[in-house]
A and B are shown apart, each in its own frame.
Chain A
């Protein structure tokens, strides 16, 4: 094999279709994981409404635990260790373990986004709903949620991009996404440079435009919903919400 040290275009074009094949899986996995996280994040939000102190306290710590330990280890846990757990354990294929592992990890963040959305609804709105004798269902469906959801949309979009960038972790347990294919191409041909560069380019091409899009969305939403908040500290606050991955 050719071991010389420079960039080779024929390797690049040779590897490109191979790596591109994994794009479908990477994107599919991203969307599946994202949906899972969106739904499961809702569960966390519901949990945080539990009134019983010890349970709530316990759940907080579970959430903190999931958040502050590496997703990679969680992925390994689910893929390698879960089948060995007595009684409840069962084997999962790489794809679903990736959905589960990364989905649970990110759902803790998503849950926090939901919570911040609900909390951002002005207190007066709750009181007004009560004063107008709305039922619980009506209160949520007609007053709180319509106001709580729009501000969270850009944040959720940010998380989609962040998750997309974490999805290659799944290649470590054998999901044939772009990184995995690039690595196997590299080990088969002793050329890592080109396939890995292709992966990097693909990520950049996909995530950069969507990041710009979300930025624009964010500005639009802010213009509509944050009329009262005009203090200088606001942009910082937004970054904080969006930046955690």
Chain B
């Protein structure tokens, strides 16, 4: 199955971009500048409020018409849709984690005469990241599942090849789709393992 490569490529692209979006949006949402803050809230709510498949179609079909922006390829459209969607979800986690770092930490950092950037980078952020880890792991699997949607905009991922195989040999459909499911599951296994690992890492050394 050659589709495996595309699926993994899309997955990796979305993961990188998605986490990036999550951190950017998470921080922007905490920003004191009202314009940045409300723009981010708008972005997060729009992407959380509509479904991924609609966003995907919208980016693929509608965006080029509306703004004349051509995303270059279906790869970009797919990765962007997944990343923006899950970035919105994960930015809430980033925000929640940063907010849940105890207030005394901020005060202590201020008392030590750290700049606000130092405070975030050296004190708050390292503690917040640990709280984000288990959630981020969950979203890895979500994103893997989401990559199956890109076959709908014509990318040649696993599901796409599965479909082709099925249409060439109808009676083989159960085998083909079952194989596709197995492939996804095999890809998910390391992610599940990673999630468990991340959960364990986030618990380590914390008095609960």
Contacts and interface: CB of A to CB of B under 8 A. Distances in A.
B102 interface: yes
Contacts, number: 153
> Interface residues of B: mostly helix, strand, loop or mixed?
helix
B181 interface: yes
Contacts of A192: 57, 61-62, 65
A203 B49 contact: yes
Nearest to A71: B145
Interface stretch (B71-79, B92-100, B115-123): B92-100
A1 interface: no
A167 B51 CA distance: 9
Interface in B158-182: 159, 162-163, 166, 170-174, 176-178, 180-181
B135 to A, nearest CB: 6
Which of the four size classes fits the interface of chain A?
35 or more
Interface stretch (B25-33, B106-114, B136-144): B136-144
A235 interface: yes
Output the residue of A69, A84, A85 with the most chain B CB within 10 A. A69
B184 A82 contact: no
A129 interface: no
Interface stretch (A44-52, A111-119, A193-201): A193-201
Given A69-B184, A77-B174, A196-B61, 13 more contacts: A65-B181, A72-B151, A73-B184, A74-B181, A84-B173, A169-B149, A179-B53, A193-B65, A199-B58, A203-B50, A203-B54, A233-B100, A243-B89
Interface of B: 45-46, 48-55, 57-58, 61-62, 65-66, 68, 89, 92-93, 96-97, 100, 102, 131, 134-135, 138-139, 141-142, 144-149, 151-152, 159, 162-163, 166, 170-174, 176-178, 180-181, 184-185, 188, 191-192, 208
Interface of A: 5-7, 64-65, 67-74, 76-77, 80-82, 84-85, 89, 164-169, 171-172, 179, 183, 186, 191-193, 196-197, 199-200, 203-204, 207-208, 211, 231-233, 235-236, 239-240, 243-245
